[in-house]
Every structure is written in C-alpha cells, then in structure tokens.
A and B are shown apart, each in its own frame.
Chain A
C-alpha cells in the first residue's frame, strides 16, 4: 500500500514536470540557477572560514571538527523543530487527508506516507545547505570523493532521526490534546523554542571559540575542543563517522553509521507502531472547528473613524482582524522580538573603542538592519496578497480596485515595519553614540528602505500571487519570494553604495581635510538615490498591479 501511495506522488511529480508551460520551464530554470548561485556563494563563504580555521597553529583541526559537530547539532535541532511544524500540517491538515482517511488505506501506511512527506519538506533545504560546508571541508583538507559519498549516505538517517523527533512530539501532543487549538499551541511553542535556541546560541558568544585568550586556562580550552559535542545525539555520531571517514578509520565509521541507520530503523518502526494507536485520535480532534463566540456588534469601524476612506478602511479592518486571530502570526512576532533583542545585544558587544569606528558601524547598520527588514518583508509583506487565498473571489468580484487592495496591504505592513526600523536604528545609534550626521543619515536611509521594501514586497507579491497554497512557507520559498529577496538585497546594496559617498566626505571632514564636501557629487548622489528609490518603489508596484488586474482565478 505504501508503494501505491508513493507511486501517486511520483506520478504527480512526473506529470507536473511534463506539463510545464514554456514560461514555467524558464522560470524554474532561473530559480534553479539562482539556487545554485546561492549554494556557490555559501561554498565560497564556508571555504574562507574552514581555510582560516585550518591554519590556526596546533589546534586547527580540532577547531574544524568542533565547528562541524556544532553545525551538525544546530542542523539536528533545526530539522527537529521544522519537523514539528511541518508534520503538524502534513499529518493533520493536508488537503488529501479526507480522501485518504475514507479510502481503504491502513492507518500505519497512511501515517508513513505523510511522515515521509514531512521528512522531505522539513529537511531538504537545511540538508542542502550542509553540502557546500562539507565540500569546503573536503577541498581544504584534500579528502577524497569517498568522504562526500559517506556524508550523503550518513545524512539520510541523520535527517530522518531529526525529523522523527519533531513528528513524535506532534503525534503525542495531538493524541493528548486532540483539538484544533493544539495547532496554535504548537505554533507558539515551536516559535518560542526557535527564539530561545537562537538567543542561547547568540548569548553563548560562539566567536569566543576562535579566541583562545577568552578562556583562562589553555588546558581547559583544549579539553573543551576535544570533548564530544552532545555525545548521545545523532549529530555527534555523524560527526564521529565523518571524522573517521576523513581519517580512513573504517571500523569507527561503520560503528557510527550502524548507530545512525539502526536508530533510524528502530525509531521509525516505533513511530509507525505508535501511530497505529494514536494517529487517528489526534486527526479526528484536529478536524473539529473551534468555537469562539464573538460579540455581534455592528458599530462604526475604527479605521473609518481615523479618516480612512470607506473601501480602504474596510479592507484594513478585515486585515487587522484576520491577522491577529491567526496564531501563526503571533508566533512570528515572538521570533521578531527575539531577533531584535539579539541584534541589539550583538551591536552592544561589538569591540569598538573609537568614535569614528562607531559612526562607521552606525552607517553600516543601514545594510544589516536593512537585511533584517527585507527578511521580515519576506515573511509578512510579500505573502500578504497571496494570503487572501481561496477567498480572493470576494475581492475579485467586489467593486474595489486592485490598487486599493495593494495600498491597504502596504499600509498594514509599513506601520509595524517602520516601528521596527526606528527601534533598530535609534537604539543602535544610541548604543554606539554615533555622531549626529551618521545617526541622521542612517535613520533616514533606514526609514526610506523600510517604505520602499514594503512597496516592493506588495508589488512582487502581486506579481507572483499564489492563492491556492496550503501554507505560508510555500509562498516565501517560491520563485516570487526569491525574486523579491534578491531585488531587496540588490536595492539595499545600491543604497549603501550611493550613500557611501557623502559618508566618505563626512569622514574626510572629521579627519580635518579642508573642502571635503564636493557639492556637485552630493547633488549627483541625491539624484541617483532619488532615481533608485523611485524605480524600486514604482516598478514592482506597477508591474504587480497590472499582473493582479489580469489575474485569472
């Protein structure tokens, strides 16, 4: 039966591939190329890091394997948390579950089918990112192809084990609390754990790893490097197996590989057995709609009282209500708060001891905070249009223009994003005690970046609408999401390049160079900056509006 279920997935995949339109082929090719480009970029980055660590006298190799163990541990944690979220959707809320549950499919086979689906979706991307790291490790240390082969073979049970942790948690939680509300609790819990995990990693100050002077006793540092990292975790078995593969120690490799494969088989056998008992209880409970009686009050909308025109006010009112009732959004807000806190902590810990450097960092903060805002835009602004989902017909058939819908989405995004931008900019400038010019320039630039990014997010979101997806991650990781992110990063890079000129003149003035300000150049920069922002605002916006106006449901 599992074979038959798997066959339908293969057929679906093959049919999707063979029925691609020429546009879809070009689009997918572009997407694949861009993905490969990203992997090559990561490889270059990892290569630099690995090559640097490898050259540290005496402890280079120890450092490398310590880093590898930490990378694998982080991977394990990320896949486990991702598995928790993914399995919640696939095991309990997939669109085909009603059909499959009605069909004469044994429950355990159905569970395995969905478990394998969860495994794939929660791990493929995180797993893929390991490839450039391992290739960098291979290149720097001159390991053979056998090492890479061992890595591929060992990754399979490793990722399967990590995903199983998340799945087991979901399975038990839905069994113990079989309700649709559990989904909300899981969303909040997993986001909280991600926030805590991220905070823990950051507050542990991993940069101290390559600063032996940070530990008082050298022997203590060496002992730390040599000690296994989370010895009883599959991440350590994988690291030990890879280390053995690198050193040609076949027995150690075989022992750790057996541990990984043996555990994976045992864990999945146990999961299947457990699913036979508990899966249906959770599934059944998760389907029940939640009762939440709201007051039946027909009063003027707050948005109208604030002076918004009728249609814009109504759209904003609808957006506000639906957004804050969706727990998935709150959990993301928790993550953002954690991110902002860690960001400011990192700024505060920067070892900067002179005022010029501090002002320079305040300017560079435009880039890093801009990146954070672009990432937030990818999560909140870009999907805003697509999140109308199958209800799009309501707006599509209503007497409301696409422009008005886009303006409302923009407004809803830009207000919180401006607040975050202000916190990031003002707090950073305060921590750094940046001079007035640098602080003013960076705050102004960051505000403009925020507004432009919000317009870009809505514009690209309208250009690539996805009204029939099952979850928001499919929207973020789509081609449109990639195009938005690439354009946003390009725009931020261009902003930094243009503003670097006045910044340079400002520094020259600080260093006492007379006539540092070339006003012609300032005018040229201002014009260029204006053109850049006008283009970044208007082009995706108008293209998106036209695409959405022509959109056929």
Chain B
C-alpha cells in the first residue's frame, strides 16, 4: 500500500505538492487526475524516491521512502511518462538487467522474459537495440520490465499513451489482474475513460492540492448539483474547464 502524509514539495516559490494526505490500500487501482502542471508527476517522483520532499512522508509497502529507501524501491515498480531506456541495450538485455537489479532468479528470468516479450508482441524485436524502438515499443518494454520483478506497488505515469489499441487493452487487463492479486496501482492519467473503467477511486489534483477524492459515484454525486454528467464533466467542473467552453465554441 501507499501512505502519504503531509507531503510538500516546493520548487523555489512554487509549491508543486501542497500538504498531500492520501492512502492507497493494497489491491486498489487509484487514478490520479489533474490539469497539466497540477503536480501529478512531481507526486509520482516523490513516491518513487526520485525527488526528496520538503515536508511529510511517503511509505511504500510499509517502508519509509526517505529512510528505508532500498526496501521501498525493491517493492516499487515505476513506469514514467517518457520511458527513456538504455539505447545500446537490446530489449531482452534490458529486461535481463532489470531482472538482476531487482533480484529475480535466473531460472525465473529464463521463463518470464520470453513470455513478457511475447505478451507485448516484441519477440521479434527482443534482440534489437532499444535505440531502434518506437516510443510505444519503449513504453511496452518499460512495462514488461516492471512486470518482470512483480512489484507490490506499481506507479504509472500516463501508461497508455503511445500504445497501440491491442497493447493498451493488454495493459488494462494486466492492471486489473495485478490488483486482484493484491498489487497497489497508482496511476496518473489524462485519459478519463481509463480512469472511469479501471479505477476504484480517483483523486483530482489542482495546483498541488488534492481537491477531490473518492469513488467515481461519490465524485459524480458531488458534481451532479452543477448538472455534470460523466467523469469528464466532473473533471471539468472541478478544474474550472467549463469556463472555456464558450471560447472553444467560438474558435
């Protein structure tokens, strides 16, 4: 599970994350939404230990990210929005490297690496250098690498962007399966349809603050008063997007 308490991150005068309190239990798929620049990616980096908080704490699978960093990281799997991977390694070699770093036994790697490559239709590309992969293929290999070491907590930043429809479907199914097995999934996304279909609960962040949190039904009930329908309307209602509707019509 993920436990975030009073988390603050500032960049100069800008408070990117402002006193965030959030708990995502084991087995839940949590959707983290918000407009661009709201602080979602900063939150992801704080959870995964890529940034140090100015205040507050993050616990991952019971380990404090600041003081028990390696244990927390061992329990974590990250899929960033831009999956830069070593261009001079082949896809299979990258998986092999990740397998060793996370302590996956060799026999397990021998079995799972070909399986994962096949799952993402990368078997023919497994021996090619990653520099020749497209964005979507790199995204797939990053997801495959995370699945290889079976983390207890999975943090994804826009995981579906760049994937073809078939792979996107595979990823959605995988996330559901993993959650059923008890994996915590924390997912940033702009694709509201995915949040609607996958996430048990959704949090909406605006200017570094968590302005809404709850199940979809709870959020829709909250927004119904203003006549909003569906998550998109809820999102726009909460983030002030309706103000631009007339401008968009004009354009």
Decide whether A and B are members of one complex.
yes
Interchain CB contact under 8 A, B127 and A398: no
Instruction: Give the chain A neighbours of B74 by CB distance below 8 A.
Output: 399
* Chain A residues near B76 (CB-CB < 8 A): 397
A300 touches B86 (CB 8 A): no
Mark out the residues of chain B between 32 and 53 whose CB falls within 8 Å of any chain A CB in the assembled complex: 45, 48-52
User: What 1/0 flags go to A284-295 for Cβ under 8 Å of B?
Assistant: 000001111111
Query: Whole-angstrom distance from the CB of B9 to the nearest CB of chain A?
Result: 9
In the bound assembly, the distance between CA atoms of A381 and B127 in angstroms comes to 29
- Please tell me if B113 contacts chain A, counting CB pairs below 8 Å: yes
Which residues from chain A contact B128 at a C-beta distance below 8 Å? 291-294
Residue of B nearest to A313 (CB): B100
B50 touches A326 (CB 8 A): no
Instruction: Provide a sorted-by-A list of 28 A–B residue pairs whose CB atoms are within 8 angstroms.
Output: A290-B132, A291-B128, A296-B114, A296-B126, A298-B106, A298-B110, A298-B113, A300-B106, A301-B100, A310-B103, A311-B101, A317-B97, A317-B100, A318-B89, A318-B97, A325-B88, A391-B86, A396-B50, A397-B49, A397-B50, A397-B76, A398-B98, A399-B70, A399-B101, A399-B102, A400-B70, A552-B50, A553-B51
Which chain A residues border B120 with CB–CB below 8 Å? none
Closest to A550 in B: B52
Q: Is the CB of B88 within 8 A of A393?
A: no
The 6 closest A-B pairs by CB, nearest first: A289-B132, A314-B100, A390-B84, A399-B74, A322-B88, A399-B73
Residue pair B100, A321 in contact (C-beta under 8 Å)? no
Residues of A within 8 A of B109 (CB): 298
User: For the complex, what is the distance from the CA of A400 to the CA of B74, rounded to whole Å?
Assistant: 9
The verdict on B131 contacting chain A, using a C-beta distance below 8 Å, is: yes
Residues of B within 8 A of A396 (CB): 48-50
Assembled-state Cα–Cα distance A81/B242 (Å): 58
- Interface members, chain A 379-399 (any B CB < 8 Å): 389-391, 393-394, 396-399
B58 to chain A, nearest CB (A): 13
Interface contacts beyond A296-B90, A399-B74: sample of 9 additional A-B pairs, CB < 8 Å, sorted by A: A289-B132, A311-B101, A315-B101, A326-B88, A394-B86, A397-B48, A399-B73, A401-B70, A550-B52
Contact present for B92 and A298 (CB under 8 Å): yes
Give the number of residues in B that approach A within 8 Å (Cβ atoms). Answer: 41
| B114 neighbours in A (Cβ, 8 Å) | 296
Point out the residue from B78, B82, B103 that lies within 8 Å of A397, measured CB to CB: B78
What is the interface of chain B, defined by CB distance below 8 A to chain A? 45, 48-52, 70-71, 73-74, 76, 78, 80, 82, 84-86, 88-90, 92-93, 96-98, 100-103, 106, 109-110, 113-114, 126-129, 131-133
CB distance from A470 to the nearest CB of B (A): 13
Specify which chain B residues have a CB less than 8 angstroms from the CB of A389 in the assembled complex: 84
Tell me the minimal C-beta distance from A95 to chain B in angstroms.
13
Given the contacts A292-B129, A294-B127, A397-B76, A310 and B110 also touching, CB distance less than 8 Å: no
Give the contacting residue for B129; candidates A290, A390, A401; CB below 8 A: A290
Tell whether, in the assembled complex, residue B78 and residue A393 are in contact, meaning their CB atoms are under 8 Å apart: yes
Question: Residues of A at under 8 Å CB distance from B?
Answer: 289-296, 298, 300-301, 310-311, 313-315, 317-318, 321-322, 325-326, 389-391, 393-394, 396-401, 550, 552-553
| Total A-B residue contacts, Cβ distance less than 8 Å | 102
Contact of A293 among B50, B101, B127, B133 (CB under 8 A): B127
Interchain nearest-CB distance for A281 vs B (Å):
20
Closest to A299 in B: B106
Complex-state Cα separation, A314 to B103, whole angstroms = 10
| B contact residues around A390 at 8 Å (CB) | 82, 84
CA distance A456 to B246 in the complex (A): 61
Across the interface, name the chain B residue whose C-beta is closest to A388. B86
The answer to whether B129 touches A397 (Cβ under 8 A) is no
Q: Point out the residues of chain A lying under 8 angstroms from B96, CB to CB.
A: 298
Distance in Å from the Cβ of A311 to the closest Cβ of chain B?
6
B90 in contact with A393 (CB, 8 Å): no
How far apart are the CA atoms of A291 and B126 in the complex, in Å? 12
A289-B131 in contact given A321-B89, A393-B78 (Cβ < 8 Å):
yes
Please name all residues of chain A whose beta carbon is closer than 8 Å to the beta carbon of B71 when the two chains form the complex. Answer: 399
Given known pairs A298-B96, A393-B50, the reply for A553 and B45 (CB within 8 Å) is yes
Known contacts A289-B131, A293-B128, A318-B97; is-contact A394 B113 (Cβ 8 Å): no
Q: Judge whether B93 and A321 touch: CB under 8 Å.
A: yes
Q: Is the CB of B86 within 8 A of A322?
A: yes
**C-alpha gap A289/B110 in the complex (Å):** 28
CB distance from B112 to the nearest CB of A (A): 10
Residues of B within 8 A of A321 (CB): 88-89, 93
Closest to A292 in B: B129
Q: Which residues of B contact A400 (CB under 8 A)?
A: 70, 73, 101
For the complex, what is the distance from the CA of A314 to the CA of B100, rounded to whole Å? 6
A552/B100 in contact, CB under 8 A: no
Q: Which residues of B contact A553 (CB under 8 A)?
A: 45, 50-51
Q: Is the CB of B102 within 8 A of A398?
A: yes
